[in-house]
Structure 1
Amino acid sequence: MSKPEQLVAEIMTISSRRCLTTNSLTTIFFYLLLASHVVPSLGRNQSTQTYRDQNEPN
């Protein structure tokens, strides 16, 4: 077995032993990734909305 394959095999055995920890970490990472995508777009929508409100004549 080459080095990368051996590393992958070790990671697989470790993650299968600690299935719960790995899953929770992945979930946390996923939610962080999701939040980092969602929050800026929300902020952008908010700023464009206020910009539109300020520039519209009453």
Structure 2
Amino acid sequence: MVEVFFSISTRQLIRRASFDSVKERMAAIAAFSRGWYQHCHPFDWTKPADEVLPHTPK
């Protein structure tokens, strides 16, 4: 789930913005994180586990 969060934050914040300093960038990431957690909801999985997980031969 951490990878999903970083992927979304990269697409929605990092690539769309321009920052003049590291401090400004860190403040934007903190604001994004606060907003994310205020409106968070569970992810809806589109595939069942048996389609995602590798099958082991018996």
**Same structural fold, with TM-score higher than 0.5 when normalized by the shorter chain:** no
Greater fraction of residues in helix: 1
* TM-score, structure 1 as length reference: 0.31
For the pair shown, which has the larger CA radius of gyration, 1 or 2? 1
* TM-score, structure 2 as length reference: 0.31
| Larger RCO of the pair (alpha carbons < 8 Å, separation 6+) | 2
